[in-house]
Amino acid sequence: MEIFSRPQTMTAAALLWIALFIAPSALALPFDCPHNHCGLLTKQSPPDILVGQVEAVATSKQTLQVFHWARDHHFWHNVPADAQGYPAFVTLLSLSIPVTKDGHTNRHSVTVAMTREEYESGPILPGAVIRYAPHAFYGNNAAYRNARTQHDPLKESYWWTLGCIAQLCAPNDSQCLARYSPGRFDWHSGAQLDLMSGTPTPNGIVIDTLTLLPKPRPR
């Protein structure tokens, strides 16, 4: 039984990123509420692992626009109506993730959220490659949540719009970038999922959910 060698895996990943850079898309605008659900994939924080390239960090105005659209359209139904303190507690990032269908590759903008405290501890710049994971991936650790929300009921209501975000590659680090494959992946198995529907992708890759590197597979 043959498996892909590491150089082959890296080349495949690099080709996906190249497709991301050159692909046109009608859904490529960050935080596009009228045409792309503000970039929100699900009605709560995404339940899966996402790997993508940061294309924009939301301004306070954009953050409020996303907040009110999400609440008005029943995406974030557990948050208060007035967005009190939301821009001060949360930073929104727009990720660019390629989707190939019927031989055509498009870039899709996906919005994810992290606490502003975590963002400002080491700002993530446009061009960086990041991993988003749901808090459930780490067991919804109550001590971690309480450290971020200080038991503030308002912040706790916002907590469920957030995920855990880590930078994988700095901007312009092509050697690092080639190690990872962009996309949406099941956080239990690492299986690749369709970006928009969250359903398994036929013949998709599988990543290690800890290292995020593609797993070798039979050829």
pTM of the predicted model over 0.75: yes
Q: Which of 116, 57, 122 is nearest to 86 (CA)?
A: 116
Q: Is 28 exposed, middle or buried (0-12, 13-18, 19+ CB in 10 A)?
A: middle
pLDDT in tens, 43-102: 888 999 999 999 999 999 999 999 999 999 999 888 888 888 899 999 999 999 988 777
Task: Return d(Cα 141, Cα 194) in angstroms, integer.
Answer: 28
pLDDT of residue 154: 85
Max CA pair span of the chain:
59
66: CB partners within 8 A, 6+ apart: 31, 33, 38, 39, 40, 58, 92, 111
163: CB partners within 8 A, 6+ apart: 45, 46, 112, 113, 114, 132, 133, 134, 135
pLDDT in tens, 27-59: 568 999 998 999 999 988 899 999 999 999 999
Q: Which of 98, 112, 92 is nearest to 25 (CA)?
A: 98
